[in-house]
Structure 1
Amino acid sequence: MRFSRNDSATYLAAQLAKSFSKALNKRAAALGFSPGQFPVLLELWNEDGLTQRQLLDRVDVEQATLANTLARMERDGLIERKPHPRDRRAQIIELTDKGRDLERQAIAASRDTDNAMLAGLLKFERHLLLEYMGRTIDAARAVDQKV
């Protein structure tokens, strides 16, 4: 029995993620951020002043990955770390003016990427795709918790 990679959700999801990331990277680089920083920026735009632990719980990446991402963001002037007022072990992550000023353009870049990548789909197909993607992600997380 032959197996085509086009019959593999794993393969197709990886290809889709790669394509979206590549398309966003082109737009993001011109603005001064990377696709890997975007989830952190989204969280901080919604609630600035989170701890690294809070960010880790929200962005679903490994601790080392987040630490490296935050170091690059700090180097690039997007965030600054401040001592936590009550917990000497923790740091507060705050957006700089540069990080805050990036919000409108970065979200527009993300929307432009989505629109370009999904241009071949009708509006209802986009909604269905997003719903199915969300349900698949939820199912994958449930499987991860069992393993």
Structure 2
Amino acid sequence: MGFERSESALYLANQLAKGLSRALQKRASALGFSPGQFPVLLALWEEDGLTQRQLLDRLEVEQATLANTLSRMERDGLIARSPHPNDRRAQIIALTERGRELEALALDAAARADDEVFHGFRRFERELLKEYMRMAIANSRTTDKG
């Protein structure tokens, strides 16, 4: 009894994530951001001026990963850091004008990447798949805590 990759949800989810990332990469590079920066941009478009700790809590990534991503985003002119007014150890991470202007184009790029990967799916199939994905993500978070 061997391991069949096509029957493994973990393997399939990993391959889907790679496919979605590639589809976004094609569009994102032309706009000046990377797929790894997209979650940070989403969080800051939702609420600009967060601390690194707040971003860590919202994005559920490792501290070192976020620090590297923020450094690249600052280098690329997407964000700026400033001292926190009440906490000397913290910095406020805010979008630059370039980062704010990118929102509509980046969201469109992400939607087109979704459309590419899910080409041929009917609307209800896409919605059902996303609902299953949300359920699996919630289950994985519960498993992480227990």
Report the TM-score, using the length of structure 2 for normalisation: 0.98
Corresponding residue for residue 81 of structure 2: 81
- Trace 1:32-51 onto structure 2 (pairs within 5 A): 32-51=32-51
Q: Which AA in structure 2 matches 1:18?
A: K
Instruction: Please give the secondary structure, in 1, of the residue aligned with 2:82.
Output: strand
The answer to whether the aligner puts 1:96 opposite 2:96 as a matched pair is yes
Q: What are the superposed Cα offsets for residues 38-87 of structure 1, whole Å, 9 maximum, x if unpaired?
A: 00000101110000000000011100000000000000000000000010
Aligned residues: 146
Instruction: Please give the secondary structure, in 2, of the residue aligned with 1:93.
Output: strand
Corresponding residue for residue 105 of structure 1: 105
Q: What are the superposed Cα offsets for residues 75-116 of structure 1, whole Å, 9 maximum, x if unpaired?
A: 000000000001000000000000000000000000000011
Find runs of 4+ consecutive structure 1 residues off by over 2 angstroms.
none
CA distance in 1, matches of 2:118, 2:56: 29
Instruction: Please give the secondary structure, in 2, of the residue aligned with 1:48.
Output: coil
Q: What are the superposed Cα offsets for residues 14-37 of structure 1, whole Å, 9 maximum, x if unpaired?
A: 000011101111100000000000
- Structure 2 unaligned residues grouped into runs of 5+: none
CA distance in 2, matches of 1:45, 1:29: 19
Q: Which AA in structure 2 matches 1:60?
A: E
RMSD: 0.7
Q: Which AA in structure 2 matches 1:138?
A: A
CA distance in 2, matches of 1:32, 1:62: 23
Corresponding residue for residue 5 of structure 2: 5
For residue 145 of structure 1, report the CA deviation from its aligned partner: 1.3
